[in-house]
Amino acid sequence: MKHEVIIAGFGGQGVMVMGQLLAYAGMAEGKHVSWMPSYGPEMRGGTANCAVIISDEPVGDPLVSEPTAAIMMNSPSLDKFWRGIKTGGDLILNGSLIEKEVGRNDIHRYRVPINQIAVGLGSEKMINMVALGALLAAVNIVSPERLLSCFAKKFAAKPAILASNTAAFQQGYDCVAKRTL
Amino acid sequence: MKHEVIIAGFGGQGVMVMGQLLAYAGMAEGKHVSWMPSYGPEMRGGTANCAVIISDEPVGDPLVSEPTAAIMMNSPSLDKFWRGIKTGGDLILNGSLIEKEVGRNDIHRYRVPINQIAVGLGSEKMINMVALGALLAAVNIVSPERLLSCFAKKFAAKPAILASNTAAFQQGYDCVAKRTL
Amino acid sequence: MLEKVLMKGNEAIGEAAIAAGCRYYFGYPITPQSELIEYMAKRLPEVGGMFLQAESEVAAINMVYGAAGAGARVMTSSSSPGVSLKQEGISYIAAGELPCVIVNIMRGGPGLGGIQPGQADYFQATKGGGHGDYHCIVIAPNSVQEMADLTALAFNLADRYRNPVMILGDGALGQMMEPVNFDSCKAMLTDKPWATTGMGTRDKPNSINTLQLQPEKLEEVNVHLQAKYALLQTQETRSEAIWTDDAELLVVAYGISSRIALSAVKRARDQGMKVGLFRPITLWPFPKSELADAVKMASAVLVVELSSGQMIEDVNLAIRCSKQVYFQGRTGGMMMKSSDIYDQILQIIAPQGGN
Amino acid sequence: MLEKVLMKGNEAIGEAAIAAGCRYYFGYPITPQSELIEYMAKRLPEVGGMFLQAESEVAAINMVYGAAGAGARVMTSSSSPGVSLKQEGISYIAAGELPCVIVNIMRGGPGLGGIQPGQADYFQATKGGGHGDYHCIVIAPNSVQEMADLTALAFNLADRYRNPVMILGDGALGQMMEPVNFDSCKAMLTDKPWATTGMGTRDKPNSINTLQLQPEKLEEVNVHLQAKYALLQTQETRSEAIWTDDAELLVVAYGISSRIALSAVKRARDQGMKVGLFRPITLWPFPKSELADAVKMASAVLVVELSSGQMIEDVNLAIRCSKQVYFQGRTGGMMMKSSDIYDQILQIIAPQGGN
Amino acid sequence: MSNKVFARPRALTDVATHYCPGCQHGIVHRLVAEVIDELDIQRKTIGVVPVGCSVLADQYFNVDCQQAAHGRAPAVATGIKRVHPDKVVFTYQGDGDIAAIGTAEIVHAAARGEKITTIFVNNAIYGMTGGQMAPTTLANQITATTPKGRQEDSAGSPIQLSEMLATLRGAKYIERVSVNSPAQMAKAKAAIKKAFETQLSGAGFAMVEVLATCPTNWGKTPVEATRWLNENMLPQFPLGVYKNANEV
Amino acid sequence: MSNKVFARPRALTDVATHYCPGCQHGIVHRLVAEVIDELDIQRKTIGVVPVGCSVLADQYFNVDCQQAAHGRAPAVATGIKRVHPDKVVFTYQGDGDIAAIGTAEIVHAAARGEKITTIFVNNAIYGMTGGQMAPTTLANQITATTPKGRQEDSAGSPIQLSEMLATLRGAKYIERVSVNSPAQMAKAKAAIKKAFETQLSGAGFAMVEVLATCPTNWGKTPVEATRWLNENMLPQFPLGVYKNANEV
Amino acid sequence: MPKPIFNQERCKGCELCFSACPKKIIAPADHFNQKGYRPAVCTDESQCIGCALCARACPDVVIEIYA
Amino acid sequence: MPKPIFNQERCKGCELCFSACPKKIIAPADHFNQKGYRPAVCTDESQCIGCALCARACPDVVIEIYA
Ligand SMILES: Cc1ncc(C[n+]2csc(CCOP(=O)(O)OP(=O)(O)O)c2C)c(N)n1
Ligand SMILES: Cc1ncc(C[n+]2csc(CCOP(=O)(O)OP(=O)(O)O)c2C)c(N)n1
Ligand code: SF4
Ligand code: SF4
Ligand code: SF4
Ligand code: SF4
Ligand code: SF4
Ligand code: SF4
Ligand SMILES: [Mg+2]
Ligand SMILES: [Mg+2]
């Protein structure tokens, strides 16, 4: 099995950390993983994205041009990537910032009001975990438990934020799993 | 016919100009010529030399490792070059500064008291012309007249020095030609 | 075994260097290698080492010259334009036979170019972008783990042969994260009796001077260097050969391109095509005989590079122009897709095939 | 015809540049090319030109970038270590497609090396010592007359192709005097609507910028450059072939080495040996097809260089490794003698002969 | 519509800049452009832009421009000015560009009295590459390459470029300004104008050092950044005229 | 035999130098060596010699040495000193080396307060390459690249490096001296000693600028050259202490 | 009557103009622009005195002032 | 009695020591050394006061002074 995920959004939305969490979790599950960021000054203010590959075999090409799954946190990112997603793939859309429709019926589209959910839980900073929850509900890349334990490990220094982020993850997850979209 | 001449001495002895005069004269006689100096900081105080080729055919290699003729203005130069001179070649030795003998019977050796002659004529600066006179008496590389006319041309700005230098040339020439060594 | 950690290639080089005993780093920021200089800024003081941000790449490489001459394990890093500025210094280091490691995380050129990955500094690295007859040992990792392992190797080779070693990576390898551990990164230290450490109890001063005004002496220096290079050519080539035994088409690629190529080669193998991959790991000394061996069964070769075609010359020389050699290159920071390579493999292997 | 004058190669370059319309020179002293900078210091003001001694080679090449971008015919010159320092700037100039002439009067390397003649910067000049895929046109004169003629050509090619041109000479050619005239040194001037001269009456500003953050765009730049280079390869190779028609042994040499080789080849011909000489005049673009033609009758090739073997790679590539290729090289400022070459010719042609 | 009392200067193109929100590069650009407009030299001005955040300024200045290799803008400008002595040539450089890698080039342009105008934007950091130490980084300032703050004993002390260049005879006008308030901007603009006039009069080299914020790499909001500049940079980099050797 | 009252210092090897007759490089060498002897640091000193006439000084100083690329001696010395902070590292540089191509390196070594000692031999010319203009060449001085004399308007004005570096906080001791007479030599030696002591005390960067003759490229006898130096160089390069920020 | 005109798509929401305005009549809009910033707007044009301090404070030349 | 000793082969004949000597007892020799210079010699050792000014003036450390 090979998951090729693209996560894209504004510079400040934490898409890089999201991708790293996913890769950590994949690694923890004994998979081969790679994480590849977009980089450079154009990131500032502009869009940022990263490509995560989680695979049973060693990763060849770390670039992802046809993702099997994608999280699109804003409109410009969606414009850039929607065409490339593999048929049958999964697309998490941040409904809070994206209004337009995606004209493809050959992929699974999940419109999640990511910012609203995070704000509802107390902080926009949690949009990451909402998005990851949604993604893992849509497609079983790594187990939700593994992801949460990786989060706990990565932010071991800040145990206070674990509970709220777990809740954010769960709401994102439920949103997709229970089709409360 | 191809003459390959090495002229060597102290930095201040004007060996470079000597070689250039010879090359000019060869050029004026319609020959192919090249002039190649030793160069670099080691010249200062140390020895300097140049290689002049005057030939009926285009000059290939501008370096001279086996000169057909040589002017050696001082001892260190002689030490460096005496072995390389072609059998049958001509060697002008500055007897004023060189005491040692040259252990080769297969070349023509002319010991000329170059500095004495020049000083005798009024100035050590004329050692060049003494040496060139001696050389051209020993071997007919260019005609003496041509060399003198090239001298006149090159130092057209200083007509005053022509007469004395002509005399210097002549004395060097006679010294070899008339075997007044 | 140490647990694997997820790290950027740039950072893995830094950590491996420290594991290999490097305690001195001089560098200047430039994208896409700045994570390395920043990593060293943070880590070196923690291990009792010394980090210094130089005023320029020129200063950095000359600080490396000084530190290497003084006996240290020392590193610098940059990206393409910055490495161009180091060329005079690298020539001096090679001439002085000073061991050090120089990292080039290549980006698209020429000129200021861009900051996305490239492999167009192959010639500069392998043929000598500086003046005179010299060579760096040039090593091209293709994963974050190799960024680590080969960095350690680089330090050990540098000391063993008293020669600068260049790690030739690219923006993708520098920026990407993969799991890595540093188990195999060991410092094999050597004595450096030639180093300028102050005379101490020695009875004669040491001197490092690459000037030889006597051409006879300078030629001796060159003869000595060439003998070392010949030894390196026989002893220190490294390469990887995958499915080359029966390959009718041999793909040759290094660094990041080799990963992309491998995906394509795998796919072709799955389709039953006899395709193999040859990956030079040392770009200088180039694994000539290994490649000549690997190509024996092949009727054609496909060279894949993020350049307009540089390594392809060494490939042709290694196989003595005995096969048809095809090329696939992207430039300016663009990367080929493995599907592009796959398509070209198809075309080469089954050129008759219409639609 | 103008009378011939006796001049140093370095000075001939200067005078030819002026004849070819060069009015701007930026440089930094270094042996063995200092006569050129000194000549320009004296002559340029006499013809209304501008001479500036820069604070370094780095500054000089960047002043050239500025002046070339501003539309001038401009030159710089240096010798090996100084040329290494110019590599970043040269890459920028090539990327910006700015016409200029860069002179390298090579000396022995690597490092500080020596000041006697060398040819060990061939790779640097032809493959690109700087970063990225770019090429200078590289021209190698072998006499003082050619120093003049090819310098004028260099300026004209630079403008025609908007490309830097490098004159690759050596200490011997720079220092030696030979008769020379400047009859054929003419300025063929071209319009430069792209130059930054101030907008004046233009309605849009001109800009020279080698940055392309979009890799797609930077790839376009590279594709454009490669197309130009391909055109140069078909249009602008230059070479000399002497007695190659029936040559069984082909000697290949450029610059000063080619003169030494020619003496040996002549002597061998005099002895009835079928030996020829092939002399690349443009080292980049390398006269591949001309050499491939010239080598047809030969069974062996002897490459002669003042290096440990650099051009030999291009020779092998040009003849597709189809012949046995021998090498004769000297380094460190030493020069081979024509008798050495003659001896090797003998050995190759009559290897059976013992005494 | 009624009259514009404040409008975009002609010497700025109508292109949105890539600068971060609140980055003062934009303000410096506008002031330079206003001076070019006021001196009516747009059609004879050639700008040289650096490697640094302002690397794309050739797209913003509505004049002929060349982009220079990192640190070499003064050399490039010299090349241009020597070819076109009757034109106006200015460089626009950051602190890393001018005071680190480009130290030799700016010192010698000044020593030569090169008739160019240099706009030096000192934000005490490498903006473009993501916030590493600059030669003007303050003592103890935290940057990506001084994670514990710049230790003067090892990483050195900030270079006061204006003071340093003022020791050179060829430098004819040197002033340090700030653009943290409209009043300071007015002073900055006057200084920039003097620096251009120094060139126009043929007197020699002129430079204006502009203290500026880099909110992104300082990790501050634009408004906080202006405050930080006042409190921290001004003491190290006193404003004022460091050289005025001409009668402009 | 009786006692030697003046003898060759131990820190000089017994090798004949390649310098021209009367060249003051030899005097500066001897003074540096005497200081090394007096401070008893020969066995812990590492010298860095430049590209310039003193390129072979590693053969003359009886201490460990590295030869540096043209202008880069301060960078090389930095590399050495950072590896051996307990050793004594000095550079020996000419005016072309230190004030032209090597401007950035010396400015930054000084700005960093690098704990090295620099001996800067200012002879207002490029000696080794045959007498071209140096950054310290005087106005109107004739050289191989200023055949009509250095025109300040185009070729620039002499750089006063001591004055310039004194503006940097990391520079702790800077003095300009001459060696034209035994009395001046005594002062020069005292300055060199202070510069080494500045390093030994860990205070920071120290430099002594030594005005010196180049009879060969000035086209003068050694004795004439000393006179020319007094009459022409001293007014442009006033002797004195430009920085003394330590309590040595 | 003086009037500030905001080129909203150019605004980066840096807020430097807010404090520059002596009348404190500049504030963020409710909506986002294409770049994702809340552009500055004038909350009460009638109070504007046309001093152009806002325009001068803006690094992005977003504001033009009409008299 | 003080005495200057000249390492004649090292002397380059620059004459800097001549004027340095307060007793003016240094002059060029009649002969040349290997390098081709007339080496400096002391014309009257008995006058030497051992001040070593000649030795200090010499760039080539030709002179040693014995007390
Ligand atoms: C030779 C070279 N070295 C390094 C770089 C990377 N680089 C780009 S911009 C920059 C520094 C920018 O800082 P500064 O000059 O202060 O400008 P700012 O971005 O702060 O305005 C560096 C180091 C480069 N492009 N070229
Ligand atoms: C990169 C480089 N550029 C130029 C040279 C040539 N070069 C050698 S020494 C020198 C200048 C020497 O002058 P200075 O530093 O004043 O020392 P001096 O000889 O006067 O003591 C130059 C330009 C070189 N070797 N390397
Ligand atoms: S990084 Fe700093 S200097 Fe660069 S654009 Fe952003 S705020 Fe401005
Ligand atoms: S050229 Fe000048 S500096 Fe060099 S050794 Fe001779 S006199 Fe001394
Ligand atoms: S012009 Fe003055 S009053 Fe009007 S909005 Fe702008 S700052 Fe406020
Ligand atoms: S200053 Fe300009 S960019 Fe910033 S908020 Fe105001 S209008 Fe927008
Ligand atoms: S020691 Fe004094 S008195 Fe004696 S020779 Fe020397 S300078 Fe003259
Ligand atoms: S100073 Fe020294 S080198 Fe000069 S003449 Fe006297 S002894 Fe000889
Ligand atoms: Mg900055
Ligand atoms: Mg000097």
Residue-wise pLDDT for B29-79, tens only, equals 999 999 999 987 644 556 789 999 999 999 998 989 899 999 999 988 999
For B5, list phi and psi in degrees, rounded to 5: -115, 135
| Residue F217 CB less than 6 A away from ligand 4 | yes
G36: CATH = 3.30.70.20
Query: Do residues D55 and F101 make contact, with C-beta atoms less than 8 angstroms apart?
Result: yes
Please check the confidence at residue F216 and state whether its pLDDT lies above 60: yes
Identify whether E12 is part of a domain: no
Identify whether E3 is part of a domain: no
Phi-psi region of D39 (alpha: psi -120 to 50; beta: other; left: phi over 0): alpha
Task: Write the secondary structure of A60-74 as one string of H (helix), E (strand) and C (coil).
Answer: CCCCCCCCCEEEECC
Name the residue of G7, G9, G10, G16 whose CB sits within 8 Å of the most ligand 6 atoms, as the mutation to test its pocket: G16
Query: Do residues C286 and C259 make contact, with C-beta atoms less than 8 angstroms apart?
Result: no
What is the residue range of E29's domain? 25-247
Query: Do residues F2 and F46 make contact, with C-beta atoms less than 8 angstroms apart?
Result: no
Rounded CA separation E128/F231 (Å)? 50
Q: Do chains E and C touch (3 or more CB pairs under 8 A)?
A: yes
Residue B11 pLDDT:
75
Please check the confidence at residue E198 and state whether its pLDDT lies above 60: yes
Query: Do residues D225 and D232 make contact, with C-beta atoms less than 8 angstroms apart?
Result: no
Query: Do residues F67 and F58 make contact, with C-beta atoms less than 8 angstroms apart?
Result: yes
Q: Is the peptide bond before C32 cis (omega within 30 degrees of 0)?
A: yes
Torsion of Cα atoms, D324 then D325 then D326 then D329, to 10°: -170
**How far is C-alpha C226 from the chain's CA centre?**
20
Please check the confidence at residue C354 and state whether its pLDDT lies above 50: no
Please check the confidence at residue B26 and state whether its pLDDT lies above 80: yes
Identify whether E214 is part of a domain: yes
Which residue do the tokens 């001179």 mark? B85
User: What's the distance, Cα to Cα, between the start and end of chain E in Å?
Assistant: 39
Length of chain A: 181
Smallest-distance ligand from the CA of E25: 3
- For ligand 1, atom 2, name the residue with the nearest CA: C82
Rounded CA separation F162/F93 (Å)? 14
E43: CATH = 3.40.50.970
Contact B44 F128 (CB under 8 A): no
**How far is C-alpha D291 from the chain's CA centre?**
18
Name the residue of E51, E72, E143, E209 whose CB sits within 8 Å of the most ligand 1 atoms, as the mutation to test its pocket: E51
Q: Which residues lie near ion ligand 10 (Cβ < 5 Å)? A: F 94-95, 123, 127
Rounded CA separation A59/F142 (Å)? 68
Residue C94 pLDDT:
98
Return the sign of the alpha-carbon dihedral for residues B13, B14, B19, B24. Answer: negative
Give the gyration radius of chain A's Cα atoms.
Answer: 15
Q: Which of D55, D60, D66 sits opposite E66 (nearest CB)?
A: D66
Contact D332 C218 (CB under 8 A): yes
Q: How many CB pairs under 8 A join D and E?
A: 135
Count of CB atoms within 10 A of residue C202's CB?
A: 12
Instruction: Please choose, from the candidates F157, F110, F102, F198, the residue with its C-alpha nearest in 3D space to the C-alpha of residue E164.
Output: F110
Identify whether E144 is part of a domain: yes
Bridge partners (DSSP) of residue C242 are C277
How far CA F238 is from CA of B175, C50, F190, F205, F244, in Å, comes to 58, 39, 17, 21, 16
Please check the confidence at residue C42 and state whether its pLDDT lies above 70: yes
Chosen from C4, C6, C146, C267 to mutate, greatest number of chain A CBs within 10 A: C6
Torsion of Cα atoms, B152 then B156 then B157 then B158, to 10°: 20
- Report residue D67 as tokens: 């002046």
Please check the confidence at residue E247 and state whether its pLDDT lies above 60: no
Using an 8 Å CB-CB cutoff, list chain A residues near C171.
39
Rounded CA separation E196/C87 (Å)? 37
What's D271's DSSP letter?
Answer: T
| pLDDT tens per residue across span D202-231 | 999 999 999 999 999 999 999 999 999 999
Which residue do the tokens 């002073």 mark? E187
State the chains in contact with G (3 or more Cβ–Cβ pairs under 8 Å): A, E
Q: For residue E234, give the 3-state DSSP assignment.
A: helix
- Is residue F80 within a helix (H) or strand (E), and if so which, with residue range? helix F73-83
Query: Do residues C73 and C188 make contact, with C-beta atoms less than 8 angstroms apart?
Result: no
Please check the confidence at residue D355 and state whether its pLDDT lies above 50: no
Across F25-54, average pLDDT: 98
Alpha carbon of E52 to ligand 1 centroid (Å): 4
Residue C3 pLDDT:
81
Rounded CA separation H51/H21 (Å)? 8
Rounded CA separation C265/E92 (Å)? 50
What's F86's DSSP letter?
Answer: T
**How far is C-alpha F76 from the chain's CA centre?**
16
DSSP codes joined into one string, E94-152: EHHIIIIITHHHHHHHHHTT-S-EEEEEE-SSBTTTTSB--TTPPTT--BTTBTT---H
For F49, list phi and psi in degrees, rounded to 5: -105, 155
ipTM above 0.95, yes or no: yes
Residue B52 pLDDT:
98
- Helices and strands counted in chain C (H then E): 13, 15
Query: Do residues D251 and D225 make contact, with C-beta atoms less than 8 angstroms apart?
Result: no
Which parts of chain D are beta strand (E)? 5-8, 24-27, 50-53, 74-78, 100-106, 137-139, 164-170, 177-180, 207-208, 239-242, 249-253, 275-280, 282-284, 300-305, 324-329
Going by pLDDT thresholds of 50, 70 and 90, the confidence category of residue F2 is: low
Across F82-89, average pLDDT: 98
**How far is C-alpha D258 from the chain's CA centre?**
14
| pLDDT tens per residue across span A80-136 | 999 999 999 999 999 998 988 999 999 999 999 999 999 999 888 899 999 999 999
* Number of structural domains found in chain G: 1
Rounded CA separation D180/A134 (Å)? 81
Rounded CA separation A50/D213 (Å)? 18
Which parts of D66-218 are beta strand (E)? 74-78, 100-106, 137-139, 164-170, 177-180, 207-208
- For ligand 3, atom 6, name the residue with the nearest CA: E20
Residue A44 pLDDT:
58
Identify whether E14 is part of a domain: no
Per-residue pLDDT of chain H (67 residues; tens, 9 = 90+): 899 999 999 999 999 999 999 999 999 999 888 777 889 999 999 999 999 999 999 999 999 999 8
Identify whether E9 is part of a domain: no
Identify whether E17 is part of a domain: no
* Number of structural domains found in chain E: 1
Q: Which of G37, G50, G60 sits opposite E5 (nearest CB)?
A: G50
- Is residue A107 within a helix (H) or strand (E), and if so which, with residue range? none
Going by pLDDT thresholds of 50, 70 and 90, the confidence category of residue D353 is: very low
Residue ranges and CATH numbers for the domains of chain C are 5-235 (3.40.50.970), 241-352 (3.40.50.920)
Identify whether F162 is part of a domain: yes
Bridge partners (DSSP) of residue B54 are B3, B33
What is the residue range of H48's domain? 3-66
Which residue do the tokens 């902070």 mark? F85
Query: Chain A: nearest CA to G28, how far in angstroms?
Result: 18
Across E165-180, average pLDDT: 98
Residue A41 pLDDT:
64
Q: Do chains H and G touch (3 or more CB pairs under 8 A)?
A: no
Query: Chain H: nearest CA to B10, how far in angstroms?
Result: 9
* F105 in reach of chain C (CB within 8 A): yes
Across C273-302, average pLDDT: 98
Instruction: Please choose, from the candidates E38, E81, E84, the residue with its C-alpha nearest in 3D space to the C-alpha of residue E190.
Output: E38
Residue ranges and CATH numbers for the domains of chain A are 2-177 (3.40.920.10)
Rounded CA separation H41/D202 (Å)? 77
